[in-house]
Amino acid sequence: MDKYTKIFADYVVNTKMIPQESIHEAKRRILDSFGVMYAAFHEDAPKAVRKYAYMFETQDGSYLFGFPFKTTPEVAAFANGVLVRYLDFNDTYLSKEPLHPSDCIPGLWAVGEWKKIGGQKLLESIVVAYEIGVNLCDAASLRKHGWDHVNYVTIMEACGLGKLLGLEEQTIQHAISLALIPNLSARQTRAGELSMWKGAAAANSVRNAIFGTFLAMNGMSGPYQPFEGEMGFFKQVLENETFDDNALEPIIKQKEPKRIFDTYIKFYPVEYHAQSVVDIVKKLHQYISSPDDIESIHIDTFKAAYEIIAKDKEKWEPKTKETADHSIQYITVVGILDGNITKHSFSKEKLNDPIVKKILSTKTTLDQKDELTAGYPDGIPNRVTLKTKDQKVYTEEVKYPKGHAKNKMSDEEVIEKFKNNAEGILTNTEMENVIDAVMNLEKCEDISKLAQLLRV
């Protein structure tokens, strides 16, 4: 195929030793994924994709998370992936390109369930997929050229499937090509006013990776030189920008996969560049007793946050949940008013609150600061200044929000997040059963037997 498909396929086939600490971290990511899935259960987009999935019932397939309904692995991966991704509450990695690496989990789970694969093999495939995805994000930016980060999800998912299914190197190379080249995803998904598709694009990339892998398993060849060809990924997507091979060193040298530790579990249901803002506004809330106490709010942020969650005019008056959880201005105002940000912060009532709209339009300002840009992607440096009616000024700055790789959540905190998200959907006993199953997943010989535990 080409140099890069060979690098990725070699790594998948030849990585035999998976550190136990990486396996444990993968279990934490599965539990977190299940939690944010339950929290999104009644949202509009997950309901829409479930209705789509109901069109494709089968007796020999994969279950929709939470339901006694089987569909094809591709459709289950898509529907379950939207559930996990929809609230923007699953994990993140930030580098030249941002990524939600746990987007790979629903697809690997769906195929593993269909093939009745054991928990240890699933965990290994997740760790390998993370290794590929994280290193790709260090190598080149897709967003810079108008393409979406989910194109990296496509690649990492195909590699994870290769590990899960024990495929040969040549098959994995063709699977990557068949998944990637026919299905490139444009960044328009995340520009301007955001739609439901914002929470579905990654799930679609996973679905495409499964389809491409299944084709390759049955003898279909993919476009040759998918990365290096004259009309390939580097030429079309990166516009011949240098792809940093040094970032692939852990893969090229086939080091033990540990990059999963460099990714971040989200503490709040907002786009990751605003995580530190929520830590900030929770502190600033104490200085107001009513909205009338606010004289002004000023936000200082860094370049990547400005470009992704601040610069568009729609961010100043979001009309959809998808736009609001990607608006640093909206998150700041609502957080100062309410003292926290939860999924309820993006309800239609809150989006249409005249008080929120007035403070956004008349009392809030924002600047991009070079000194904060210099602190990224090592951290997520944001600063907010609140001025009250009595002319007092309060400034807070946070660089490493809770859940960041340099401010990690404990196992207990991950479990507590799961329970908070599953509250009202599962009973306490059902929650404990899911937690026990996930944290002992390596002992499970057939993950399809766990489907009943996830039902609501």
Distance between CA atoms of residues 265 and 138, nearest Å: 19
pLDDT at 343: 87
* Contact present, 379 and 312 (Cβ < 8 Å): no
Chain-centroid distance of CA 75 in Å reads 19
Q: Which DSSP helix (H) or strand (E) runs through 365?
A: strand 364-368
Q: 237: exposed, middle or buried (C-beta count within 10 Å: 0-12, 13-18, 19+)?
A: buried
Residue 164 pLDDT level (bands cut at 50, 70, 90): very high
* 240 pLDDT tier (thresholds 50, 70, 90): confident
Give one word for 339, left, alpha or beta, with left for phi > 0 and alpha for psi -120 to 50: left
For residue 352, with 0-12 CB atoms within 10 Å meaning exposed, 13-18 middle and 19 or more buried, which class applies?
exposed
Q: What is the pLDDT of residues 108-161, one digit of tens each?
A: 999 999 999 999 999 999 999 999 999 999 999 999 999 999 999 999 999 999
Residues 6 or more apart whose CB falls under 8 angstroms from that of 374 comprise: none
| Number of other CB atoms surrounding residue 243 within 10 Å | 16
Mean pLDDT of 73-87: 97
| Structural domains in the chain, sorted by start | 3-267+418-454 (1.10.4100.10), 272-398 (3.30.1330.120)
Pairing type for strands 70-71 and 57-63 reads antiparallel
- Six token digits for residue 104: 């790979």
Contact predicate 318/324, CB 8 Å = yes
Predicted TM-score (pTM) of the model is 0.92
Contacts of residue 333, Cβ cutoff 8 Å, sequence gap at least 6: 297, 356, 359, 360, 364
For the segment 42-51, the average pLDDT, to the nearest whole number, is 96
| C-beta of residue 164 within 8 angstroms of C-beta of residue 125 | yes
Dihedral angle sign, alpha carbons of residues 246, 251, 252, 255: positive
Alpha carbons 369 and 383: distance in angstroms, whole number: 10
Rounded Cα–Cα distance for residues 206 and 157 (Å):
6
How many whole angstroms separate alpha carbon 143 and alpha carbon 186? 9
- The C-alpha atoms of residue 382 and residue 273 are separated, in whole angstroms, by 9
CB 122 within 8 A of CB 172: no
pLDDT in tens, 399-447: 999 999 999 999 999 999 999 999 999 999 999 999 999 999 999 999 9
pLDDT of residue 456: 86
Q: What percent of the chain has pLDDT over 70?
A: 100
CA distance 319 to 313: 11
284: left (phi over 0), alpha (psi -120 to 50) or beta: alpha
Q: Which of 10, 71, 83, 14 is nearest to 47 (CA)?
A: 83
Which is it for strands 294-301 and 382-388: parallel, antiparallel or unpaired?
antiparallel
DSSP structure class, residue 243: P
* Contact indicator for 297, 386 with CB cutoff of 8 Å: yes
